[in-house]
Amino acid sequence: AQSVTQLDSQVPVFEEAPVELRCNYSSSVSVYLFWYVQYPNQGLQLLLKYLSGSTLVKGINGFEAEFNKSQTSFHLRKPSVHISDTAEYFCAVSEAGYSTLTFGKGTMLLVSP
Amino acid sequence: DTGVSQNPRHKITKRGQNVTFRCDPISEHNRLYWYRQTLGQGPEFLTYFQNEAQLEKSRLLSDRFSAERPKGSFSTLEIQRTEQGDSAMYLCASSLVGSGRNRYEQYFGPGTRLTVT
């Protein structure tokens, strides 16, 4: 079985500053990795995913993530955040070739002016 | 493409009552998932269908929960004899099984928030 740890429950940051949201996973098999964003009272939207190939993955809204197999991490980064990036971010993992997702507890990104 | 829709968006019920939620997936998607999200937690997998077949159920899905997808299109999730611990956001997602890198992408609906009083 897989598990996901998001180390920070909240990350406060000023507008235009860079941000990194941390995600570590545990699995005994190959995995696929995902980052989702959830705005208040809305469902989850896929930001980016890693299935195979290049370990640096670019997603929507200027976000990117890097898969590090040796450290079992998939940290999310953005070089310059906007107020509109304020939301909850979830890291998720699935067993490779298998579709159900296991989510972390989420990290609330709070962007202030 | 109108996305995944869920109804109702909010449901308040008294303990012991039965409730039913509906999910309409993206029209060409053949897989449909149900997740439950409680406050401060990430979504937890409940069950999923491929077409009309229910292929997996989580241990979280007690006997009081039942899900159907009768014609391989919309799905319903019913909770019988609701308990206060059932209060949560119930999320539905859909995906398309096939070739291509988007086959593992799940598209989520806005959720149904259940409050059991």
Compute the mean pLDDT over every residue in chain A, rounded to the nearest whole number: 93
CB-based contacts of B90, cutoff 8 Å, min separation 6 = B6, B21, B34, B35, B36, B37, B77, B111, B112, B113, B114
What's the pLDDT tens digit per position in A3-58?
Answer: 999 999 999 999 999 999 999 999 888 889 999 999 987 889 999 999 888 999 99
Structure token digits, residue B72: 């391989």
Contact state of B43 with A105 under an 8 Å Cβ cutoff: no
Res A41: pLDDT: 79
* Model confidence at B74: pLDDT above 90: yes
Does A5 reach chain B within 8 Å, measured CB to CB? no
Question: Which amino acid is it at B81?
Answer: R
For residue A100, the chain B residues in CB contact (below 8 A) are: 33, 45, 48, 56
* Model confidence at A108: pLDDT above 90: yes
A interface mutation test: which of B51, B106, B107, B112 has the most A CBs within 10 A? Answer: B106
Closest CA–CA distance from residue B18 to any residue of chain A (Å): 24
Distances from the Cα of B65 to the Cα of A31, A98, B86, angstroms: 29, 24, 10
Stretch B9-36: mean pLDDT, rounded?
A: 96
Closest CA–CA distance from residue A67 to any residue of chain B (Å): 17
Res B101: pLDDT: 63
Contact state of A46 with B45 under an 8 Å Cβ cutoff: no
Contact state of A49 with B31 under an 8 Å Cβ cutoff: no
* Model confidence at B99: pLDDT above 70: no
How far apart CA B27 and CA B55 sit, in angstroms, is 20
Does B78 reach chain A within 8 Å, measured CB to CB? no
Structure token digits, residue A92: 């998720």
For residue B101, the chain A residues in CB contact (below 8 A) are: 51
Res B100: pLDDT: 66
How far apart CA B67 and CA B73 sit, in angstroms, is 13
Does B111 reach chain A within 8 Å, measured CB to CB? yes
Distances from the Cα of A75 to the Cα of A38, A84, B108, angstroms: 17, 20, 22
| Chain A nearest-CA residue for B104 | A99
Contact state of A103 with B40 under an 8 Å Cβ cutoff: no
| Chain B nearest-CA residue for A93 | B104
Compute the mean pLDDT over every residue in chain B, rounded to the nearest whole number: 92
The residue with greater pLDDT, B104 or B14, is B14
Compute the residue count for chain B.
Answer: 117
**Segment (H or E) for A77:** strand A73-78
